[in-house]
Amino acid sequence: MTHTAVGWHIELEFHEDDQHTRAAAMVRLPDGTEVRTHGHATRHHTDSNQPRVGEEVAGARALNELAMQLLVKAHGEIDEASGRTSHPINV
């Protein structure tokens, strides 16, 4: 049995103003494809300005969407390789 070490590098980029944080996530896969997603956080006007918290929320949302897109991609590849419709992959 052969074991192969594979690494993925995920990039997160943030854009912020006083009320909003936007996160963009991207992963390049070994097959050459890129998956890109976005996440968003809005600070409630009564909350103190804590940019790191906005980054954590927006980043988590972007990564969650990235995970869902990867599951959809994997599900499609399973179907294509097997020639049938498989059960959905749940998290």
In this prediction, what percent of the chain has a pLDDT beyond 90?
Answer: 56
Average pLDDT over residues 8-25: 95
Residue 24 has a CB neighbour count (10 Å cut-off) of: 16
Average pLDDT over residues 85-89: 74
**Cα 64 from Cα 70, distance rounded (Å):** 10
Contacts of residues 1-7 at CB distance under 8 Å and 24 or more positions apart, as own/partner, are 6/30
- Quote the pTM value: 0.84
**Which of these, 64, 66, 65, 88, lies nearest to 76 by C-alpha position?**
88
- Predicted local confidence at residue 91, as pLDDT: 64
pLDDT band of 60, cuts 50, 70, 90: very high
